[in-house]
A and B are shown apart, each in its own frame.
Chain A
Amino acid sequence: MAPLYPLLFTIYFRLMFACLFEIGSSSNAVNKEAQSVERFVSVALLDLAYCFSPFIEESADNTLVLDLNGYELLFDSYRDIAAGIAARAAHAELKLNIAIANDPDTAILVARHIGGIVFVAPGEEEAQLTDLPTVVLDPALVKINSAKAIEIIETLSLWGINNCGQFAVLPEIGVIERLGQDGLRLQRLAKGTNNRALVPRKLKPKFEYSIQLEHHLKELEPLSFVLARLLNELCASLDAVALATNELYLYLKLEKEKEYTKTLNLPSPTRESRTFIKLLLLALETDPPEEPITEVHIGCNPTRPRVTQYGLFQPLAPEPDKLEMTLARIGNLVGKGNIGAAELLDTHRPDAFSVRHFAVRSRRKGSKKRLINKQPLIGFRRFRPLLQAEVQTLNGRPLRITAHDSLRKLSGRIVNLAGPWRTTGDWWSGDNWSRDEWDVSIKDSSGSETLYRIFHERSSDKWYVEGVYD
């Protein structure tokens, strides 16, 4: 009779791993670049995995590997563990392939490409993988770059080696001599003898907090206490990992299945919960939710905190947080789109500008421009809103003009004029324009002459006074 000890060692002291591969789960929602860094694994699959083992590796998209070491003591056999996982998965409506093997990579390959529930007994890895085509050998598992792996697979194909079994029987030295260490690693993967250590998943810091309210909130004041609590937790999380945020989002669930969202963008990152609360409350005052609130969620995009070095001779700018709050308050009064800094647009379209969110910017070295312009300048005061006019013309040239509104009035004979200055543009869009401008000198009843700029909008055949020259 064979001694019992080696048999026991083989059965009980080998590490075993289970691979869970979720079928049909899509990672499309995740940005492609992010995929290469962060694997896509569904929350349900993660929850399921944590029910069975605290050591979990996110090996690839939809793929988790569990360290089952010690679990054989709780279950009768590894097959029972697999059955247990399958039962849970069925309960959670997850479609899984499950493979248990002594080698984590063998478990992954089997789970991905064989399917169902498979238990690979120690020593049977090579036999289990033998029919798998070589193209399924995942280079990432053995840390080979994909271009190199493709080259190796192509060489194997030229050799007539198309499945793992054929690859496995090639002499190791011959493989090293021809395909190098990368070839050997890939061959070991094909044999099921890679035997690497698992890289367990680390828990990530949380930047989302929420609360379900027992009593629905109708007022902002009680909401401020809830927000304060959540924001304190959020800012503490940020503080713990030395991060801040410049983008905070609030999601409120309302009665009657309605939703309310608000995003705060700050000019510079911070983790001051008081600032956030004030800004959020200001935003909510301007645009309050229509229904009582049932749930509150708060989250943020973490980023590095602001680092500022003040110069000795640099004038002090207002604190960005305070400035933001002031701007928010003014925005509440004048309307959000009406506050900021005007910025000219790069176009021939007259008076084209946009309102940029106001932010204090430090002046860079060398950006000083010469403000001296020795050419004579003439000031121009633009009428806002434009003043519509009635213009008498002769051969297309203005002769006499009358225009007035509640504030301004002008009327008279045009004694001098220059023009027309024609601009047309954006012909490819529905928002095209075409107008003729004239600089006209008008003599009023008192006999004094004033220089105005008027224009004729050719599409509507209307005349306007655009402004007056100083």
Chain B
Amino acid sequence: MTDEYVELHARSAFSFLEGACVPEELVSACLRMDSSAMALLDRDGVYSAARFHMAAKKCGLRAHIGAELTVDFGTAGNPIHVSVPLLVKTRKGYQNLCRLITLIKMRVPKNTPCAATPDELAEYAEGLICLTGDRRGPLAHALHSSTWHESLHNPLIRRRDADPIVLVEWLLETFGRGNVYAELQRHLIREEEWRNQATVDIASKLKVSLLATNGACYSTRDQRQVLDVFTCLRNHVRLDEAGRLLARNSERNFKTPAVMKKLFADLPQAIANTIELSSCLTFALDDLGYEFPRYPVDNSHTMDSFLRKQTYEGARGRYDGRIGRPSYERALEQIDRELALITKLKLAGYFLIVWDIVEFCRKQGILVQGRGSAANSAVCYSLGITAVDPVGMELLFERFLSEERGEWPDIDLDLPSGDRRERVIQYVYETYGKAGAAMTANVITYRGRSAVREVGKVMDFDEPTLAKLSSLVSGWEWKDPNYKAEHQFRDAGLDLNSPRISKFLELYKLVQDLPRHLGQHSGGLVVCQGQLDSVVPLEPASMPGRVVIQWDKEDCADMGIVKVDLLGLGMMAVLEDSLELIRDAYGENVELAHIPYDDAEVYAGLQKADTIGLFQVESRAQMSCLPRMRPVKFYDLVVQVAIIRPGPIVGNMVNPYIRRRMGRETPDPLHPLLEPVLKRTLGIPLFQEQLLRIAMTCAGFTGGEAEELRRALGFKRSVQRMKEIEIKLRTGMERTGITGKTQDMIVQSISSFALYGFPESHAASFALIAYASAYLKCHYLAAFTAAILNNQPMGFYSPFTLVKDAQRHGLKVLPVDVTRSDWPCTIEKVDNALCLRLGLNYVKGLRELAGQAIVRERTAGPFLGIQNLSYRVPELRKNEVRALASVGALNHIGDASSSTGFSHRRDALWKAEHASREAGELYRELPEDGHQSPLNRMTLDERINADLRGTGITVGRHPIAHHRAELDDLNVIRAVDLARVADGSYVRVAGWVIVRQRPGTAKGFMFISMEDETGVSNAIVTPDMFDRNRITITQNPFLLIEGILQNQDGVVSIRARRIQALEFHVGTSVSHDFH
């Protein structure tokens, strides 16, 4: 690399619509152009600094950090926003820059223009280098100001926004002489050269060093087109009308030192100064100064000793020597090993802080469970962070923490989704301060539909064409690899020979994966000792009360910033709500920690794939696997959770495992050395821990090296890195005597599996929740069903399917009734049996405010009639009363035997309409007229339709049951009877489609689940069949499918040969389609 010129003013696409390439492209360009360093200055942020730093580090480039800061040089009411380029010289400078950006971002709502004042800039100037800027910089503004030339001669005009001399003097005073550079850019524009001449004059007068930059916004010239498109998007105009908003030429690409030297041949000092300044910029992001917060302990303890004390105390409770559990002494051995490493890596504070969050949850009665690799740690288990015993399950600690890795451990906490999770997040904010904790960002990029829409809009394509084009972007999880953008455009009826359309296609491809805006990660929370805003700038999230950092979770991991993932899990909320309902309705105090893990009834249900509503094992693929796997113990469930994953499916590991499990194949560990490693999974590697152990056993890798191997094979695969690791692996295996075909098989199995592998600890954590859900459904069906209905939407199935499944299991479900229902679904005792009462929350269109008001007012006395209800609950709107009446929720209001009672929904509707019209003070207290309505009762079909439209659920017979006679005439077999039909028979099934799924791993096959009054039947549709019947399959709620029955090992499905729609008059769909 040559040290002839350094680009010190580049901008990436992370300036959001002001740059057109990602930082990695700039780094590659830098390498190509033989440059040794570069500075990246994004607009009002350091959004891409981490990615830039990491990419540069890999190539041995020096990555200088900075930002273009918007500063307001105007007065109140007359803002003058200019863009001041700032380069970070020292760590103090970086901290100042982060604080300054945070300051301006946090005082306005998200996506609102913000600017620093000159005083603020002065306050945070230390450690920063200031450039006078390009055409939007302060000097250009002052030069173009109408009074600047007057001010040269008139000392009375001395405003820094109008007088370039005053401005530069002010910058020198603010940043210090030597920290201000007069920036020159040459993009072959006449006006720019005029500014350059003026800048050179001023610099020479004030003895300021010149600095040449190219203000690169993209790496290659063709990306100027993307920048023009972004300019249009930013200004909400079309390309044809953008005029002079667009770039004048394509000269803002990354230029070679030779080109820059030629451009500035008359000012060689401006080029030489780039080298000099680059060498002065000593700060790099390695020197971030991030420190995880210390946990406050009293004087008698250090953090390490306090952690040890808490761990030992916890371990005594966990390892109490009960049957099946390891002894305390055995556990202590592992715990001490972990604690020693934690002390060595100075991580005690981190563990204590996570423990503190878990303790907060416990005190608040919020269910919490750690997942991910943290479940490999006995310390986490002892502290109550995780619920899986790693000692008993012989889990590999190195997967969680190793000395070699040099990165923070990753602890994810599952919390009940919704308000309870928000409470925990707010607790962390309150504990560590608004500037000490923030959510990680999520960078939203231009993808299929957004790229089509936005580029198309700018190119002035009409709305129907864009709608058609974006509808062709595959919505299913399955993406046909042969279906490229060109096909998509052709299918939308666009002629690719047209220059305008081919340009559209070209731009569509160019903008793919470029950042569009910054979102908020669902649960990643970053905390910091001291001020987080000096580590990375913070900005407000769209959600009130939330603060987000400018980096995503990958960046945080790369920068060594520890994050705690507080993830919302619907099933955690279900479990928590179920336990509360069990306490109230059953009078039992069930604790998840103490439920028996050997309940035969639970396993019997799992073996039959009776898993609708259960965590992780309710999907179609899981259901088709369960009868073959026939789980009989908890570890079987751990395997079950892990095996139906893309990794094992793509790696063809599922069928061999099932064959071995069913005794049809002998387990074969690839090598005798691997027998202990793969014994539990019958010789098939299923878990990431096994992969690590294979590397450790066969190739003599250390724990850290093995983890390095896993990461190398992870999502961001690098061919070079994989080759290096493979060589290392093979060398290690040669040493242990594993050669030839066995060696190849092991390498093959490691590399094919590693991409999607599942950690055993994570599977065990999920299996715990899955088992708990199965246990509660099996023994406390009413409570579990009420809880799952109260936490919708979640899972694979709609509330309708969940209710019908519960009814088939014998649960009586009662309809919504304003005289009985609470806002959520509840449990009622009817004739000594526990029944489920649907809550008012299921009435579509009824607001919670009104629903809660009904419940509140009901406690003051029963409602005497609908008019009385409307009067006493003024929160109720007209359409809400109507909605209640139409689902039968007002049928029992008043006394049915009296003259004001109602017997059917239409009566209620007739009265409701009257009641919801304002009667005025005089008539309000009058009793309702007792006449029956002139309306007829709803028919059965009308009632079903009203239920489905109004609540999505019908508690009566299944809609299909009413058409059974017609289906019998068509020789349709009921779902429950299919299991008795011989394999290979040609059958007809029919039902209401409840799930349509086209998984990414199924090569275009589609799976349809249909429900009738007896259960669920499943059909498999080949890709050809799907293409021929696309509309029928996707648009109709009822289907009749005929084909060959596959009935093997208790798994029943139909291979569809013919599909047709059934015309049943139910005006709604209950299907969950997985796109």
Contact = CB atoms under 8 A, between A and B. Distances in A.
B934 A348 contact: no
Interface in A111-157: 155
B500 interface: yes
Contact of B244 (A171, A348, A422, A437): A348
B910 A428 contact: no
B225 interface: yes
Nearest to A437: B190
A375 interface: yes
A430 interface: yes
A422 B228 CA distance: 17
A436 interface: yes
Nearest to B251: A422
A427 B249 CA distance: 10
Interface string B143-178: 000000110000000000000000000000000000
A427 B886 CA distance: 60
A161 B942 CA distance: 12
Interface in B246-272: 246, 248-251
B663 interface: no
A9 interface: no
Nearest to B504: A428
Contact of A347 (B187, B243, B250): B243
Interface residues on B, range: 35 or more
B917 A429 contact: no
Nearest to A171: B934
B859 interface: no
A170 interface: yes
B917 A160 contact: no
Contacts of A423: 248-249
B259 to A, nearest CB: 13
B935 interface: yes
A424 B225 CA distance: 11
A435 to B, nearest CB: 10
B711 interface: no
A178 B188 contact: no
A396 to B, nearest CB: 11
Interface string A387-428: 000000000000000000000000000000011111111011
Given A158-B886, A159-B935, A425 B246 contact: yes
Interface in B910-950: 910, 913-914, 917, 934-936, 938, 942, 946
Contacts of A420: 188
Contact of A346 (B244, B249, B459, B917): B244
Contacts of A24: none
Given A155-B882, A418-B193, A424-B250, A178 B225 contact: no
B352 interface: no
B499 A430 contact: yes
A83 interface: no
A428 B239 contact: yes
B189 interface: yes
Contact of A160 (B149, B246, B249, B936): B936
Interface string A339-350: 000000111100
Given A158-B886, A159-B935, A421-B190, A346 B149 contact: no
B248 A159 contact: no
A153 B882 CA distance: 14
Interface residues of A, number: 33
A430 B499 CA distance: 7
A322 to B, nearest CB: 36
A177 B149 contact: no
A436 B250 CA distance: 12
A447 interface: no
A459 to B, nearest CB: 14
B110 interface: no
Interface in B450-486: 459
A155 B459 contact: no
B149 A374 contact: yes
B107 interface: no
Interface string B996-1031: 000000000000000000000000000000000000
B914 A160 contact: no
A443 B308 CA distance: 91
A337 interface: no
B762 interface: no
Given A178-B914, A375-B149, A420-B188, A347 B942 contact: no
B913 A179 contact: yes
B611 to A, nearest CB: 38
Interface string A426-447: 0111100000110000000000
B139 interface: no
B391 interface: no
A436 B188 contact: yes
From A169, A374, A425, A430, residue with most partner B Cβ within 10 Å = A425
A74 B190 CA distance: 90
Contacts of B942: 160
A346 B946 CA distance: 59
Given A179-B913, A421-B188, A174 B934 contact: yes
A180 interface: yes
B503 interface: yes
Given A177-B917, A423-B249, A169 B188 contact: no
A418 B189 CA distance: 11
Nearest to B187: A422
B246 A348 contact: yes
A170 B244 CA distance: 68
A155 B913 contact: yes
A161 B243 CA distance: 60
A178 B250 contact: no
A178 B243 contact: no
A161 B149 contact: no
B13 to A, nearest CB: 19
Nearest to A183: B913
B710 interface: no
A5 B942 CA distance: 51
A328 B907 CA distance: 78
A267 to B, nearest CB: 25
Nearest to A155: B913
A425 B250 CA distance: 9
B533 to A, nearest CB: 41
B909 interface: yes
Contact of B248 (A177, A348, A429): A348
Contact of A428 (B187, B503, B906): B503
A425 B240 CA distance: 11
A360 B246 CA distance: 33
B927 to A, nearest CB: 15
A177 B248 CA distance: 70
Interface in A335-364: 345-348
Interface in B204-249: 224-225, 228, 239, 243-244, 246, 248-249
A448 B1032 CA distance: 85
Contacts of B934: 169-171, 174
From A160, A171, A428, A437, residue with most partner B Cβ within 10 Å = A428
A429 B499 CA distance: 8
A436 to B, nearest CB: 7
Contact of B249 (A180, A419, A424): A424
A418 to B, nearest CB: 7
Contacts of A155: 882, 913
A421 B909 contact: no
A82 to B, nearest CB: 37
Given A158-B946, A427-B503, 15 more contacts: A159-B909, A159-B935, A160-B938, A348-B243, A419-B188, A421-B188, A421-B189, A422-B187, A422-B248, A423-B248, A424-B248, A424-B249, A428-B500, A429-B500, A430-B499
16 contacts: A158-B909, A159-B909, A159-B935, A160-B935, A174-B910, A178-B914, A178-B917, A180-B917, A348-B246, A375-B149, A419-B188, A422-B187, A422-B189, A422-B248, A424-B249, A428-B503
Listed from nearest, the 10 A-B pairs whose CB atoms lie closest are A346-B243, A422-B188, A178-B913, A422-B249, A421-B190, A424-B249, A348-B248, A159-B935, A347-B243, A428-B503
